[in-house]
């Protein structure tokens, strides 16, 4: 047997140690790494020097192609990224995908370093990570997002800055992300009895497990009284149109105001593409909803793309906006119901906790809500022009919590349960 000299043993041992160290470093980076290690796709951004950040460099996103790399999720933990605004025009939208499934879709709002996280934990496995800026503005003054690092779990966090929940997951995300903690927000059971009253003096004696009432018109005292009786409460807010009577109407810039809504002369459609302008307004409304003690939110008029709004809205625009609303509600511990928007139910069901519908029986459209029912989620329906005898038997058979209401949505109801 050939005996190695002590010098050669030393070289061999050093090589083994170096290999182990490299493997450990690689494994560590697989679960999280410096963002500048991602491969920038042409037109997607660049790498820049930034003093004071880990590694001394950061990834700068400036376009939709973005940057890509391989990551390994240990499972059961969300993905977090340390980011900041770097551009000079508007608020950039960060979209993060794993294997082409959107797991984070959020506006980056501050020039200070902070951490954004996926709303749900990521399942274990190896994924292709893509990060991109989704709303670049034309002109010389360009939007940009700087990303310092990313990691699963507690991961990287800028000093003194808490993690901020990000936007919602996209369609098909169940194959990538796990379920959010059950106690994070309230989700009504399928057989939850309910009352929907948006006008008149609030009748709190209606036997119902859930009250859906107006965000602005109802007080925190009323909400507390309902909850003291064991009821859950949902705040109604108009997310797709401006109502001139609302106390925050003056905060809507003229640039987002579209056509007058047919049949509702005091309401104007909103340009939902401008989440940079509408986002802060809607988030303040959600903050009010939470501060009054509500459990969930009903966001109305979230199907503008299929109406004459005065803007060239697309189905993709509507999906992005509705998912933004869902993520913003969940970030505040609020459940959220999808209002109408039946053609997008398959794509949006994973992001919403229940459905609120008007006249699906009269319009023969209730089958479009089946994805919610199959997912074990509640579907609440109101009919205005047809008798209960014409729809209640089917509603009971399908498990839809249906009732007949006056169009004014006062306290009157004729329920099917």
Higher pLDDT: 139 or 157? It is: 139
Nearest to 336 by CA among 285, 382, 370, 374: 285
- Can you tell me the mean pLDDT for 26-32? 44
Query: Which region among 3-7, 56-60, 117-121 has the lowest average model confidence (pLDDT)?
Result: 3-7
Asked if 321 contacts 252 with a C-beta cutoff of 8 angstroms, the reply is no
The answer on pLDDT for 15 being more than 80 is no
Question: How many alpha carbons fall within 13 Å on the CB side of residue 91?
Answer: 14
Asked if 129 contacts 70 with a C-beta cutoff of 8 angstroms, the reply is yes
170-195, pLDDT tens digit by residue? 434 444 554 444 447 999 999 999 99
Q: What pLDDT is attached to residue 143? A: 84
Q: What pLDDT is attached to residue 107? A: 79
Residue 86: pLDDT band by 50, 70, 90 thresholds?
A: confident
* Distance between CA atoms of residues 384 and 410, nearest Å: 12
Residue 92: pLDDT band by 50, 70, 90 thresholds?
A: confident
The answer on pLDDT for 318 being more than 90 is yes
Sheet holding 67-73, edge to edge: 39-40, 67-73, 125-133, 93-98, 101-107
147-176, pLDDT tens digit by residue? 999 998 865 546 544 444 444 444 344 445
Higher pLDDT: 257 or 111? It is: 257
Q: What pLDDT is attached to residue 210? A: 98
Query: Which region among 105-119, 311-325, 342-356 has the lowest average model confidence (pLDDT)?
Result: 105-119
pLDDT averaged over the chain?
Answer: 86
Percentage with pLDDT > 90 across the chain = 63
The answer on pLDDT for 90 being more than 70 is no
Q: What pLDDT is attached to residue 64? A: 85
Q: What is the pTM of this model?
A: 0.61
* Distance between CA atoms of residues 215 and 141, nearest Å: 38
Q: Are strands 378-383 and 354-358 parallel, antiparallel or unpaired?
A: parallel
């Amino acid at each position: 047997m050939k005996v190695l000299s002590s010098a050669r043993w030393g070289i061999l041992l050093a090589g083994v140690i170096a290999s182990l160290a490299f493997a450990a470093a690689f494994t560590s980076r697989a679960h999280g790494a410096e963002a500048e290690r991602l491969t920038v796709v042409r037109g997607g951004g660049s790498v820049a020097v930034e003093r004071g950040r880990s590694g001394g460099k950061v990834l700068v996103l400036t376009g939709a192609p973005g940057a890509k790399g391989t990551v390994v999720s240990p499972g059961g933990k969300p993905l977090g990224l340390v980011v900041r605004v770097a551009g000079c025009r508007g608020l950039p939208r960060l979209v993060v995908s794993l294997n082409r499934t959107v797991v984070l879709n959020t506006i980056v709002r501050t020039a200070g370093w902070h951490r954004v996280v996926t709303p749900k934990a990521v399942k274990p496995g190896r994924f292709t990570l893509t990060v991109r800026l989704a709303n670049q503005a034309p002109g010389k003054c360009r939007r940009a997002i700087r990303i310092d690092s990313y990691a699963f779990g507690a991961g990287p966090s800028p000093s003194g800055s808490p993690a901020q929940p990000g936007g919602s997951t996209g369609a098909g995300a169940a194959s990538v992300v796990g379920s959010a903690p059950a106690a994070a927000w309230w989700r009504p059971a399928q057989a939850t009895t309910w009352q929907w009253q948006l006008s008149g003096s609030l009748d709190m004696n209606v036997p119902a497990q859930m009250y859906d009432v107006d965000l602005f018109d109802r007080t925190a005292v009323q909400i507390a009284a309902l909850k003291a009786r064991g009821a859950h409460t949902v705040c109604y807010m108009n997310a797709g149109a401006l109502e001139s009577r609302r106390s925050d109407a003056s905060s809507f810039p003229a640039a987002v105001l579209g056509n007058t809504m047919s049949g509702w002369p005091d309401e104007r459609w909103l340009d939902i593409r401008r989440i940079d302008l509408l986002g802060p307004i809607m988030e303040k409304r959600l903050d009010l909803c939470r501060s009054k003690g509500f459990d969930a939110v009903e966001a109305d008029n979230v199907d503008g793309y299929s109406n004459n709004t005065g803007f060239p809205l697309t189905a993709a625009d509507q999906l992005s906006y509705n998912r933004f609303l869902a993520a913003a509600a969940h970030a505040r511990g609020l459940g959220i119901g999808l209002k109408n928007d039946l053609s997008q139910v398959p794509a949006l069901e994973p992001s919403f906790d229940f459905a609120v519908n008007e006249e699906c029986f009269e319009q023969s459209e209730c089958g479009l809500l089946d994805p919610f029912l199959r997912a074990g989620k509640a579907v609440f329906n109101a009919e205005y022009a047809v008798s209960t005898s014409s729809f209640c038997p089917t509603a009971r058979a399908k498990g839809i919590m249906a009732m007949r209401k006056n169009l004014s949505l006062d306290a009157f109801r004729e329920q099917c349960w």
